[in-house]
Amino acid sequence: MNIHVHPLVVLRAALVIFTVAIVHTELFVELRVFDVAPDPFVLIAVAAGLTAGPDRGAAMGFAAGLTFDLFLPTPFGLSALVYCITGYLVGQVENTLVRPAWWISGVFAAGGTAFGVTGYVLVGELLGQKHLLSDLPDVLGVTVLYNAVLAPLVVRVIAWVWRAAEDAPRPLRVDRVLN
């Protein structure tokens, strides 16, 4: 994995993840359906994989998951691991598309969220978190629906994060000037 990250990308990514953490803790926990709050952090991983490929999807998924782990009673690093894998796999699948359609972000959000939530529950079960499996149907339904609806907005925001490196001025290379 070879990721060159522009400092402005890191700043924008931190700003987005911090903002999502605030929105999650202050708003989304109040928007519970069947006593399940939405999970926008897995959507960050999915959107990063969709907009920037597997390596950046994995990196952004890890950062978002690690942040989400700060708010959860489950083992620290569980979300980071699963969301890292989710972002990577969504990026791999996205690379196989010839021409993505406008509606694809909702489909990827639904599929990626389903994979991430199911992976979180299964790995959590392996780590002794026996209470997760019983809630899976409700959690899966609510988070997939929320994330499919939020996907167009979040994909645009994550695309803005990665565009920072493209918009930044390029340093002048001496070998280009001399030739």
Q: Whole-number mean pLDDT of the chain?
A: 88
* The token pair that represents 27 in the structure block: 């708003």
pLDDT of residue 173: 45
Give the total residue count for the chain: 179
pLDDT of residue 99: 64
Does residue 168 have a pLDDT over 80?
Answer: no
Written in H, E and C, the secondary structure of 23-74 is HHHHCHHHCCECCECCCHHHHHHHHHHHHHCHHHHHHHHHHHHHHHHCCCCC
Rounded distance between C-alpha atoms, residue 55 and residue 67, angstroms: 19
- pLDDT band at residue 100, thresholds of 50, 70 and 90? low
Q: List the one residue out of 19, 11, 88, 8 whose CA is nearest residue 48.
A: 88
Give 9-23 pLDDT, tens digit per residue: 999 999 999 999 999
Rounded distance between C-alpha atoms, residue 152 and residue 37, angstroms: 19
Predicted structure pTM score? 0.87
The angle subtended at Cα 106 by Cα 4 and Cα 56, nearest 5°, is 10
- Residues whose CB falls within 8 Å of the CB of residue 127, separated by 6 or more in sequence, listed in order: 74, 75, 78
Return the CA Rg of the chain: 17
DSSP 8-state code for residue 134: G
pLDDT of residue 169: 52
Rounded distance between C-alpha atoms, residue 114 and residue 173, angstroms: 45
Rounded distance between C-alpha atoms, residue 9 and residue 23, angstroms: 21
Give 44-98 pLDDT, tens digit per residue: 999 999 999 999 999 999 999 999 999 999 999 999 999 999 999 999 998 887 5
- pLDDT band at residue 130, thresholds of 50, 70 and 90? confident
pLDDT of residue 176: 44
